[in-house]
A = this chain, B = another copy of it.
């Protein structure tokens, strides 16, 4: 019976593999970003908002595979920092999110830290693996949403 469980579970769990790698890599990026007082999630949000311009809060979640309710909360520290501003839409149910000038400055300030982290990871992974991951991971996220 015990052996039964063991045998089945021996197949590696994709979810666990992803989460474990996520934790380890996040710590490395956070180590660098800490020097400018940002976390990787916050950096990603700023970078994303900078690219897209003003976005509806719900769409932000969809595009980052984040629950709406999580977006609400993730945006909060950014608003507190003055890096992001939120306004009510014409449709007053909607919230529209924008990066502020201060946010753009912060993003610029954080860029070298992010580059260092990115370089570190690139340096310790075979080029093939690096390229492959960047190509494949978005599809994995997509597939899981469909799933």
Contacts and interface: CB of A to CB of B under 8 A. Distances in A.
Which of A6, A21, A23 neighbours the largest number of chain B CB atoms within 10 Å of its CB? A21
Given A25-B144, A146-B124, A18 B104 contact: no
A92 to B, nearest CB: 29
A54 B44 CA distance: 39
Contact of A8 (B27, B115, B134): B115
A111 B5 contact: yes
Contact of A5 (B24, B107, B121, B133): B107
21 contacts: A2-B50, A6-B50, A8-B111, A9-B47, A13-B118, A14-B25, A14-B121, A15-B22, A15-B40, A16-B44, A18-B21, A18-B25, A18-B26, A19-B44, A21-B138, A21-B141, A24-B142, A24-B144, A124-B146, A129-B136, A133-B140
Dominant SS among interface residues on chain A: helix
Given A5-B111, A16-B40, A117-B15, A66 B139 contact: no
Interface in A94-116: 104, 107-108, 111, 114-115
Contacts of A108: 1, 4-5
